[in-house]
C-alpha cells in the first residue's frame, strides 16, 4: 500500500466493541474495530449485511455509546450527536411535514447562530446547486427518490459538518437512478472541501466513489482490509470499464465474497429480530 | 448435460399496450417483437416506465394487450381483448416477494400441486420437502416467511414456482430490494436452479450487470414508450459463477451496450423528475 | 374505464337503498313480522312538516350540539396535553398509564348515576360523561401517535443541534398532528353515542330526549326523525373534523 | 448437486427455540429492574388514596355524597351485605352472568353475519356496491338512538331480552363488518396474482388468501366490536333491562344504594377488560405469522 502524504487525522476509532442482549443471547456486533479517517477524503466502508455497519454509524454519530473503545474527532472524544458529524440515513429522514426549503434551513435555524435571512439565502443557493430550486415548496412525499436524496444532502451540507456520514444513502433506488445519483454526489463532493464517511454494500459503488476503501468482516464486525483507491478525479462513468477499476474490484471481491456467503448462510432473521426487541426496551 | 427444454417457446409479435388511466391514454409498449426459444434465459433491461413489467404481466395473463399477439408454444395466450387465465404453466416471481405470510414455508411450496389437485396434501408436502432439500433449504419447512431473511424468502419463492414444473418462469426484478452481496449469492442460486432443469426464463431488471451475468440474451428497452432498442447475445456457457463478473469478456459485453442503457436511464431520470414533481 | 365504473356503483347503491325503503314500506303495510310496529317511511315523511315547523325541535338540536361541543372541547384541551406529556416523559407514562387502563374499560354511560349524584345539575353531569367518553379515546390515540414517530427523525433533529423545545414544537407536535386528528374524529363519534344515551336516561332536552319522548308519547314516526337527526348531526361533526384535519396536515395529501 | 450448502439450517431452528425462552426471561428481568412496575403501582395507589381522602377522610362537599373505597370494599366483601350484593351473594354473579350471556349472543351473531359479509364486500366489487351505501347511511346513527325502534321491532316477542341483545349486536356488527372489509382490501394484490398463477380456483382464493389475509383486521374488528357492544349493552340494560350490570347500576341509583353502583361499575371494567384480553390472546395464537411482521 503506497504511503499516503501525512494528512491530519480527522477521526480516530480505537478498539470499538458493541454488543446487544444478555447471557446466552449476547450478540457481539462490533469487536476491536479500529480505523482512522483523513480529512477532506472520501472513505468508503463496505461489508456484508448484518455486519454492524449501521451500529458503527450510530456510534460515530453519537446516537449510541460503544461498550468499549473510543472515538475521537480532531483529538476530542465524541459524546452525543452534534452538527459536526451529520448522518444521511438509508431511507429518507426528511421531515415529512416540512417543505423542502423548511427542511434545508432547519439545521442553521435551531443552532441560532446566523440571521434568518442569511440562512434562507444560503439555502436558496444550495437548492439551486442540487437542482431543486423550483421544488423548494414541495413536501417530501411529492418528490421522487432521487430528489429526496438530493434534498437530504443539501440539508446536511448547509451546516458545513466536519464529517458527513452517509449510511447506504442510495439503497432502494433502482440500479440506474443509483448510478446517476453517485455521479451527482461526486460532483457535489469534488466541488467542496468535505470529509465523507460513506457506508455501502455495493462493490461497484464503493470503488467508484472511494479515495480509501475499508472492508468489514462478518459479525462481529472489524476492519479486515484497507485499500487505497487512487483512481483519477473527477471520476466519470467511463471509469467503470477501465482495467484499474477492475483490479480493485477483483481484490475486494475476493475478500467480500467469503464474508457474504457466511452472512447469507446465517441469514435467519431470529437473531436480527432479537436485536430489534432489545432496542424497544430503552426507547 | 442438463436436459434441454422442449417446450416454453414464447412468441411476442408486434405487441403494443395503451393504458387509459382516467383518460390520458399512455402508450406503455410500442410494437415489440421477439421470439424466445424453449429453455432460453431471456433478460429485459430498461429504466422504470419502459413497459417491461407490462410485457411480463401480459404473458402472465394479468391483463390484455392493445394490438399484436403473444403465444406460448404456438397457442395464443394474449391478444387484444383476450388474455388466458394465469396458470401454473407460466409462474411469476414478484419483485417484493409474494410468499403467503400466513402459511409455513412447506405449505407455501406445496400450495401449487394441492390447489391444482395434481397431488394429495401429504404427497405434495413430501414432494415439497424433497425439492427444498435438493435446493439446500431443508430444515426451514415449518418456519413462517417473516422469520426468514430476504435472501432465503426469495429462494423459497423460486422453489414454490419450480415444484409446478412450469413451461415459463417469469421474474419481475426479484433481487431488487437486496443489498449487492446477498443479491450476488441469490443470483447464483437462481442459475444453479436453472441448470438443474432447463426452463424458459423471462427476467426483467434495471441492473445491466445482473442482466449480463444471468442471461443468454439481453434486450435493452427504451424509456416510455417501450421499444426493443438493442439485443445482446451472451455466450458464457453454463454453469456460471461469480468469477466471470471480473472476466475480460464480461466487461467488453458490458461496454457494448453500457452507453445504450445509460442514454435511456438519463432520459427516464429527467422524465421521472418532471413526471413526479 | 374509471369514469363509468363509479357511476355503475352509484347506480347500484341507489338501487339497494331504494329497495330497502320499499321493503320497509311494504313490510309495515302488510304487517311483516318485526316491521309491523315500525312507522313506514311515508308516515315519517308526513310527520316531518309538523316537527320541522316547531322551534322546540331545533332547540333540541342546539341543546345536544352545545353539550357535545363543550364535553368534546374539554376532552381535547385536557386529553391532548396529557397524551403528549405521557409520550415525552417515561416516568409520567409509567405513573398515569395503569390508572387510565383501569378506568378506560368502564363504559362511559356506567358513570351516569355517579355523575348525577356528584354534579349539581343534570346538564353538568351529562357533559362530564361526554367528556369521559372522548377523553380516554384522545389520550390513547395521541400517546400511540407520539410514540410511533420514526426514531431517525428525532435523531436527525438532535444531530442538527435542536434544543428540547425545538424537538417538541418542530418535531413531536407536527408528527403527532395526524393522530390527534384521528383521536378527535373517533372521539366525536363516541360523544354522540354518549349524549344520546345520557339524554335518554337523564336529559330534559336534546335530540336523545326528543327521540325517547316521542316513543313514550306514542308519536312513533317522530322516533325515526329523531334517529335520522342524530345520525346527520354526528356525521356533520365528524366530517367537519376531518375537513379541518386535511387543512392542518397539507403534507398528507397525496398529489 | 447441492446449491450453496447452508450448514446453519439446524442452527436457525435451534436459535429460534433458545431465542423465545431466553427472550421472555430476559424481558422479565428487564421489566423488574426498570422503574415501570413501581411507578405503575404508585399511580394506581394514588388514585385509590385520592378517592379515599376526598370521600371519607376529608368529606369534601359534593364528594361526600359518593361512597368511599372503604365503604365499597366492606360491602363488597361482607357475607351479609346491606344491599344484598357482594362476592358471597349469588345475585351478584347472576347479574354478571346475564350481561356476559347477552354480549356473547350479540358477539356470536355479529361474527356469524359480520365476518362473511365483510369478506365478500372486500373481495367482490359488485357485492360491495350493493351493500356498502346502506351500511354507510345507517352507521353514523348512534346505536342507542335505536333503543325506541328496537323496542318497537321486538314488541311482538314477549321477552325483553331481544331489544337489549339487538343493540349490543348492532354495535359489534358494524365494527366487525367494516374492519373485515378493510382487512380484505389491505391484502396486497400480489398475493391474489400469485395464487392465480399457481392455479387456484375462486374458492381456493377465498379460503387460502382472502380469509387468512384479512384475519388480523377481523380480530381488531372483533376486539373493537366487543368494546362497543359492551358499551351499548350497559346503556340498553339501564333503559330497558331486567337483569345485568347495567340494570343493577341504574336500579341501585334509583334505590340510592350507592356502593353497589361502584361495585357494578368496577365489575363492568374488569369483565370488559377480560373479554377483549381473551380475544387478543385467541387472535395472537391464531396468527403467529403476523406477530413480528405486523402485517
DSSP string for D8-68: THHHHHHHHHHHHHHHHHHHHHHHHHSSHHHHHHHHHHHHHHHHHIIIIIS--TTGGGSPP
Question: What pLDDT, in 10s, does the model give residues A120-157?
Answer: 999 999 999 888 888 999 999 888 888 888 899 999 99
CA distance A93 to chain C (A): 6
Q: Is B59 a residue whose pLDDT tops 90?
A: yes
Give the rounded distance of the alpha carbon of A280 from its chain centre.
24
Q: Are strands B168-172 and B200-205 parallel, antiparallel or unpaired?
A: parallel
Rounded mean pLDDT of D132-149? Answer: 88
Axis-axis angle for helices C173-202, C55-88 (nearest 10): 140
Taken in order C217, C219, C225, C228, the sign of the CA dihedral is positive
Q: Exposure of B65 by Cβ count < 10 A (0-12 exposed, 13-18 middle, 19+ buried)?
A: buried
Interatomic CA distance for residues C70 and A210, integer angstroms: 64
Interior angle at CA B144, CA B141 and CA B145, nearest 5:
105
pLDDT digits (tens, 9 = 90+) for B149-174: 778 888 899 999 999 999 999 999 99
Question: Would the pLDDT of A64 be above 80?
Answer: yes
Give pLDDT tens digits for D34-86.
Answer: 667 788 899 999 999 999 988 888 878 888 888 889 989 999 998 888 888 88
Q: Say how many residues make up chain D.
A: 295
Chain C residues whose CB is inside 8 A of the A96 CB are 175, 251
Contacts of residue B90 in chain D, CB cutoff 8 Å? 197
Q: What is the mean pLDDT of residues A223-252?
A: 86
B112/D204 touch (CB, cutoff 8 Å), yes or no: no
CB-CB contact of C186 with C39 (8 Å): no
To the nearest whole Å, the CA of C2 is away from the closest chain B CA by 6
B21 touches chain C (CB under 8 A): yes
Higher pLDDT pick, D187 / D3: D187
Above 50 in pLDDT, residue D8? no
Angle subtended at Cα B97 by Cα D196 and Cα B141, rounded to the nearest 5 degrees: 90
How would you label A57-72 residue by residue, b for 16+ Cβ within 10 Å and e otherwise? bbbbbbbbebeebebe
D121 to chain C nearest CA, in Å? 13
Nearest CB to A270; choose among D4, D12, D30: D12
- pLDDT above 90: percentage of residues in chain C: 48
Strand order across the A212-216 sheet: A85-88, A163-167, A195-200, A42-46, A212-216, A223-228
Task: Report the alpha-carbon distance of residue A151 to residue C108 in Å, rounded.
Answer: 49
Contact D47 C99 (CB under 8 A): yes
User: Over 70: is that where the pLDDT of B79 sits?
Assistant: yes
How many CB atoms sit inside 10 A of residue C165's CB?
9
Mean pLDDT of C101-128: 90
Contact C165/B at CB under 8 A: no
Max Cα-Cα span within chain C = 76
Q: Is A12 helix (H, G, I), strand (E, B) or coil?
A: strand
Q: How far is D5 from chain C (nearest CA, A)?
A: 37
Separation CA C147–CA C180 (nearest Å): 12
> Greatest CA separation found in chain A?
57
Q: Which pLDDT belongs to residue D7?
A: 37
Choose, out of B179, B261, B267, the residue to mutate when testing the contact with A (most A CBs < 10 Å): B179
Residues of D with CB under 8 A from a CB of A: 4, 6-8, 11-12, 15-16, 18-19, 22-23, 26-27, 29-30, 292
Q: Say how many CB pairs under 8 Å bridge C and D.
A: 178
Which chains does chain B touch, 3 or more C-beta pairs < 8 A?
A, C, D
> Would you state the pLDDT for residue A275?
38
Does A111 reach chain C within 8 Å, measured CB to CB?
yes
Q: Write the DSSP assignment of chain B as a string of letters.
A: -PPPPS---EEEEEEEEEE-GGG--EEEEEEEEEEEPTT-EEEEE--TTSSHHHHHHHHHTSS--SEEEEEETTEEEEETTEEPPP-TTEEEEPTT----TTS-HHHHHHHHHHHHTSS-HHHHHHHHHHHHHHTT-TT-TTS-GGGS-HHHHHHHHHHHHHTT--SEEEEESTTTTS-HHHHHHHHHHHHHHHHHS--EEEEEES-HHHHHHH-SEEEEEPSSSB-EEEEEE----SS--GGGGGSHHHHHHHHHHHHHHHHHHHHHHHHHHHHH-
User: Is there a contact between B207 and A175 if contact means CB atoms under 8 Å apart?
Assistant: yes
D93 pLDDT above the threshold of 70: yes
Nearest chain A residue to D16 by CA distance is A270
Which grid cell sits at C95? 405513573
Bridge partners, residue A199, by sequence: A45, A167
State CA C149 to chain mean position distance.
26
pLDDT digits 0-9 by tens, D241-273 = 788 999 999 999 999 889 999 999 999 989 988
Cβ separation of B21 and C3 shorter than 8 Å? no
Considering CB atoms only, which of D6, D18, D30 is closest to A265? D6
Three-state DSSP class for residue D103: helix
**Partners of A19 in beta bridges:** A28
Average pLDDT value for residue range C194-217: 90
Per the prediction, chain D carries an average pLDDT of 84
Above 60 in pLDDT, residue C254? no
> What residue in A sits closest to B273 (Cα-Cα)?
A144
Give me B74's grid cell.
404456438
Contact B147 A270 (CB under 8 A): yes
B104 Cα distance to chain centroid: 24
Q: Is A80 exposed, middle or buried (0-12, 13-18, 19+ CB in 10 A)?
A: exposed
8 Å CB contact of A176 and B148: no
What is the number of other CB atoms lying within 10 angstroms of the CB of residue B20? 11
Tell me the per-residue pLDDT of A176-205, one tens digit each, with 9 for 90 and over.
888 888 888 888 888 888 899 999 988 888
Please tell me the distance from the alpha carbon of residue D13 to that of residue D19, in angstroms, as a whole number.
10
**Overall residue count recorded for chain B in this entry:** 277
Look up residue A229 and give its three cell numbers.
483507491
Evaluate if residue B253 carries a pLDDT over 80: yes
- Residue identified by cell 468482516 is A217
| Residue C102 near chain B (CB below 8 Å) | no
CATH architecture group of domain C41-252: Orthogonal Bundle (1.10)
Among all residues of chain B, which has the CA nearest to that of D215?
Answer: B102
The packing angle between helices A243-265 and B180-196, to 10°, is 80
Q: Does B24 touch chain C (CB under 8 A)?
A: no
Mean pLDDT within B35-46: 93
Cα A141 from chain centroid? 23
Question: Chains with 3 or more CB pairs closer than 8 angstroms to A?
Answer: B, C, D
- Residue C5, chain B, CB below 8 Å: the answer is no
pLDDT at D60: 80
Chain D CB contacts of A268 under 8 Å are 8, 11-12, 15-16
Helix (H) or strand (E) holding A38: strand A27-38
Grid cell at residue C149: 414517530
Segment A218-242 shows an average pLDDT of: 86
* Contact with chain D for residue C23, Cβ under 8 A: no
Smallest CA–CA distance, residue D133 to chain C, in Å, is 6
The verdict on a CB contact (< 8 Å) between B207 and A48 is: no
- pLDDT tens, B131-146? 998 888 888 888 999 8
Put simply, the answer to whether D141 touches C230 (Cβ < 8 Å) is yes
- List CB contacts (< 8 A) between A21 and chain D: 26
* A21/D15 Cβ within 8 A: no
Q: Is the ipTM of this complex over 0.85?
A: no
Calculate mean pLDDT across residues C34-38.
Answer: 84
> How many CB contacts within 8 angstroms connect chain A with chain B?
112
Q: How many CA atoms lie within 13 A of D186 on its CB side?
A: 17
| pLDDT at D195 > cutoff 80 | yes
Q: What is the pLDDT of residue A269?
A: 42
Count of B–D CB contacts within 8 Å?
105
**pLDDT tier for residue D23 given thresholds of 50, 70 and 90:** low
The ranges assigned to domains in chain C are: 1-38, 41-252
Every domain of chain A and the residues it spans? 9-84+161-281
Pick from B96, B102, B192: CB nearest D3: B192
Spell out the alpha helix ranges (H) of chain D: 9-33, 36-52, 69-77, 90-123, 125-138, 147-153, 161-186, 189-197, 202-205, 211-240, 245-254, 258-286, 290-293
Q: How far is B221 from chain C (nearest CA, A)?
A: 28
DSSP A34: E
Q: What mean pLDDT comes out for the span B227-255?
A: 83
Query: Which of B16-20, C127-131, D8-12 has the weakest average pLDDT?
Result: D8-12
What is the DSSP secondary structure assignment for residue C13, as one 8-state letter?
A: H
**CA dihedral for D210, D212, D215, D218, sign (positive or negative):** positive
Residues in Cβ contact with A239 at an 8 Å cutoff, skipping those fewer than 6 apart:
A208, A231, A245
Share of chain D above pLDDT 90, in %: 37
Tell me which residue in D126, D147, D273 faces C105 most closely, judged by beta carbons: D273
Q: Kindly list the residues from chain B whose CB atom is less than 8 angstroms away from the CB atom of residue A48.
A: 179, 181-182
A-C C-beta contacts closer than 8 Å: 67
Query: Residue D236, SS3?
Result: helix
A9-84+161-281 under CATH 3.40.50.300, yes or no? yes
Mean pLDDT, residues A115-119: 93
Amino acid at each position: 500500500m503506497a504511503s499516503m502524504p501525512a494528512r491530519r487525522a480527522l477521526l480516530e476509532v480505537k478498539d470499538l466493541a458493541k454488543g446487544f442482549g444478555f447471557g446466552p443471547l449476547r450478540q457481539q456486533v462490533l469487536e476491536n474495530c479500529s480505523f482512522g479517517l483523513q480529512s477532506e477524503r472520501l472513505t468508503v466502508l463496505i461489508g456484508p449485511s448484518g455486519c454492524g455497519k449501521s451500529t458503527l454509524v450510530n456510534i460515530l454519530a453519537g446516537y449510541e455509546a460503544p461498550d468499549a473503545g473510543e472515538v475521537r474527532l480532531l483529538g476530542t472524544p465524541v459524546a452525543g450527536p452534534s452538527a459536526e458529524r451529520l448522518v444521511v440515513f438509508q431511507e429518507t429522514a426528511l421531515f415529512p411535514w416540512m417543505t423542502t426549503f423548511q427542511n434545508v434551513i432547519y439545521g442553521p435555524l435551531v443552532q441560532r447562530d446566523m440571521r434568518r435571512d442569511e440562512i434562507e439565502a444560503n439555502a436558496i443557493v444550495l437548492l439551486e446547486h442540487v437542482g431543486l430550486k423550483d421544488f423548494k415548496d414541495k413536501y417530501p412525499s411529492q418528490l421522487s427518490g432521487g430528489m429526496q436524496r438530493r434534498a437530504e444532502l443539501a440539508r446536511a451540507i448547509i451546516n458545513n459538518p466536519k464529517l458527513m456520514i452517509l449510511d447506504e444513502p442510495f439503497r432502494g433506488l433502482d440500479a440506474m437512478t443509483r448510478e446517476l445519483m453517485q455521479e451527482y454526489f461526486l460532483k457535489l463532493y469534488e466541488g467542496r472541501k468535505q470529509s465523507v464517511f460513506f457506508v455501502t454494500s455495493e462493490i461497484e459503488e464503493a470503488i467508484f466513489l472511494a479515495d480509501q476503501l475499508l472492508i468489514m468482516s462478518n459479525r462481529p464486525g472489524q476492519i479486515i482490509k484497507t485499500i487505497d483507491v487512487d483512481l483519477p478525479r473527477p471520476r466519470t462513468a467511463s471509469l467503470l470499464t477501465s482495467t484499474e477499476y477492475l483490479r480493485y474490484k477483483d481484490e475486494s471481491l475476493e475478500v467480500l465474497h467469503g464474508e457474504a456467503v457466511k452472512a447469507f448462510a446465517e441469514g435467519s432473521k431470529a437473531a436480527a429480530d432479537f436485536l430489534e426487541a432489545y432496542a424497544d426496551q430503552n426507547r | 448435460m442438463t436436459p434441454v427444454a422442449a417446450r416454453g417457446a414464447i412468441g411476442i409479435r408486434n405487441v403494443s399496450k395503451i393504458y387509459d388511466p382516467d383518460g390520458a391514454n399512455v402508450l406503455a409498449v410500442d410494437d415489440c417483437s421477439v421470439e424466445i426459444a424453449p429453455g432460453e434465459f431471456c433478460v429485459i433491461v430498461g429504466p422504470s416506465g419502459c413497459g417491461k413489467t407490462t410485457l411480463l404481466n401480459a404473458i402472465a395473463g394479468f391483463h390484455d394487450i392493445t394490438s399484436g399477439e403473444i403465444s406460448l408454444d404456438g397457442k395464443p395466450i394474449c391478444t387484444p381483448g383476450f388474455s388466458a387465465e394465469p396458470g401454473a404453466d407460466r409462474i411469476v416471481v414478484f419483485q417484493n416477494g409474494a410468499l403467503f405470510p400466513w402459511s409455513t414455508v412447506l405449505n407455501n411450496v406445496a400450495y401449487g400441486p394441492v390447489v391444482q389437485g395434481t397431488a394429495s396434501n401429504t404427497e405434495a408436502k413430501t414432494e415439497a420437502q424433497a425439492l427444498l432439500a435438493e435446493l439446500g433449504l431443508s430444515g426451514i419447512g415449518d418456519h413462517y416467511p417473516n422469520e426468514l431473511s430476504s435472501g432465503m424468502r426469495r429462494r423459497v419463492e423460486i422453489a414454490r414456482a419450480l415444484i409446478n414444473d412450469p413451461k415459463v418462469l417469469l421474474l419481475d426484478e426479484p433481487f431488487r430490494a437486496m443489498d449487492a452481496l446477498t443479491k450476488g449469492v441469490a443470483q447464483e442460486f437462481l442459475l444453479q436452479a436453472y441448470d438443474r432443469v432447463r426452463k424458459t426464463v423471462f427476467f426483467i431488471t434495471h441492473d445491466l450487470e445482473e442482466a449480463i451475468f444471468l442471461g443468454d440474451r439481453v434486450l435493452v428497452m427504451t424509456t416510455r414508450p417501450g421499444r426493443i432498442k438493442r439485443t445482446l447475445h451472451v455466450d458464457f456457457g453454463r454453469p456460471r459463477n461469480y468469477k466471470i463478473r471480473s472476466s475480460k469478456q464480461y466487461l467488453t459485453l458490458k461496454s457494448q451496450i453500457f452507453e445504450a442503457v445509460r442514454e435511456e436511464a438519463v432520459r427516464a431520470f429527467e422524465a421521472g423528475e418532471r413526471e413526479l414533481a | 374505464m374509471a369514469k363509468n365504473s363509479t357511476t355503475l356503483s352509484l347506480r347500484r347503491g341507489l338501487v339497494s337503498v331504494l329497495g330497502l325503503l320499499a321493503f320497509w314500506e311494504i313490510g309495515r303495510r302488510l304487517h311483516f313480522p318485526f316491521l309491523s310496529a315500525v312507522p313506514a317511511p311515508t308516515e315519517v315523511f308526513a310527520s316531518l312538516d309538523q316537527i320541522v315547523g316547531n322551534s322546540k325541535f331545533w332547540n333540541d338540536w342546539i341543546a345536544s350540539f352545545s353539550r357535545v361541543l363543550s364535553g368534546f372541547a374539554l376532552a381535547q384541551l385536557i386529553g391532548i396535553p396529557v397524551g403528549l406529556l405521557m409520550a415525552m416523559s417515561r416516568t409520567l407514562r409509567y405513573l398515569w398509564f395503569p390508572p387510565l387502563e383501569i378506568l378506560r374499560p368502564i363504559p362511559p354511560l356506567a358513570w351516569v348515576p355517579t355523575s348525577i349524584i356528584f354534579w349539581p345539575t343534570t346538564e353538568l353531569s351529562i357533559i362530564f360523561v361526554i367528556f369521559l367518553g372522548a377523553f380516554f379515546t384522545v389520550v390513547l390515540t395521541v400517546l400511540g401517535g407520539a410514540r410511533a414517530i420514526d426514531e431517525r427523525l428525532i435523531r436527525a433533529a438532535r444531530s442538527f443541534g435542536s434544543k428540547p423545545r425545538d424537538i417538541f414544537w418542530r418535531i413531536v407536535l407536527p408528527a403527532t398532528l395526524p393522530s390527534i386528528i384521528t383521536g378527535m374524529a373517533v372521539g366525536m363519534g363516541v360523544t354522540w353515542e354518549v349524549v344520546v344515551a345520557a339524554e335518554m336516561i337523564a336529559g330534559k332536552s336534546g335530540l336523545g330526549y326528543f327521540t325517547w319522548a316521542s316513543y313514550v308519547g306514542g308519536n312513533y314516526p317522530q322516533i325515526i326523525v329523531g334517529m335520522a337527526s342524530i345520525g346527520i348531526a354526528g356525521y356533520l361533526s365528524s366530517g367537519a373534523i376531518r375537513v379541518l384535519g386535511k387543512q392542518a396536515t397539507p403534507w398528507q395529501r397525496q398529489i | 448437486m447441492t446449491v450453496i450448502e447452508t450448514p446453519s439450517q439446524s442452527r436457525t431452528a435451534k436459535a429460534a427455540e433458545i431465542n423465545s425462552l431466553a427472550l421472555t426471561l430476559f424481558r422479565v428481568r428487564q421489566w423488574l429492574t426498570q422503574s415501570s412496575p413501581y411507578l405503575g403501582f404508585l399511580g394506581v395507589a394514588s388514585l385509590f388514596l385520592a378517592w379515599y381522602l376526598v370521600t371519607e377522610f376529608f368529606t369534601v362537599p359534593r364528594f361526600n355524597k359518593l361512597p368511599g373505597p372503604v365503604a365499597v370494599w366492606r360491602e363488597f366483601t361482607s357475607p351479609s351485605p346491606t344491599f344484598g350484593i357482594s362476592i358471597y351473594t349469588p345475585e351478584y354473579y347472576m347479574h354478571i352472568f346475564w350481561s356476559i350471556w347477552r354480549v356473547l349472543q350479540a358477539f356470536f351473531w355479529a361474527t356469524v353475519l359480520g365476518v362473511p359479509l365483510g369478506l365478500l364486500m372486500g373481495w367482490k366489487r359488485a357485492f360491495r356496491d350493493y351493500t356498502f351505501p346502506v351500511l354507510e347511511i345507517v352507521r353514523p346513527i348512534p346505536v342507542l338512538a335505536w333503543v325506541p325502534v328496537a323496542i318497537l321491532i321486538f314488541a311482538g316477542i314477549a321477552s325483553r331480552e331481544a331489544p337489549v341483545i339487538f343493540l349490543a349486536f348492532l354495535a359489534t356488527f358494524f365494527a366487525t363488518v367494516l374492519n373485515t372489509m378493510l382487512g380484505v382490501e389491505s391484502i396486497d394484490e400480489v398475493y391474489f396474482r400469485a395464487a392465480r398463477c399457481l392455479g387456484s380456483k375462486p374458492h381456493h382464493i377465498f379460503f387460502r388468501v382472502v380469509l387468512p389475509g384479512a384475519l388480523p383486521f377481523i380480530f381488531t374488528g372483533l376486539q373493537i366490536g366487543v368494546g362497543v357492544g359492551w358499551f351499548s349493552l350497559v346503556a340498553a340494560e339501564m333503559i330497558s333491562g331486567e337483569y345485568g350490570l347495567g340494570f343493577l347500576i341504574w336500579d341501585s341509583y334509583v334505590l340510592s344504594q350507592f356502593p353497589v353502583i361502584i361495585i357494578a361499575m368496577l365489575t363492568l371494567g374488569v369483565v370488559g377488560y377480560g373479554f377483549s384480553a381473551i380475544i387478543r390472546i385467541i387472535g395472537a395464537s391464531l396468527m403467529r405469522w403476523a406477530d413480528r411482521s405486523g402485517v
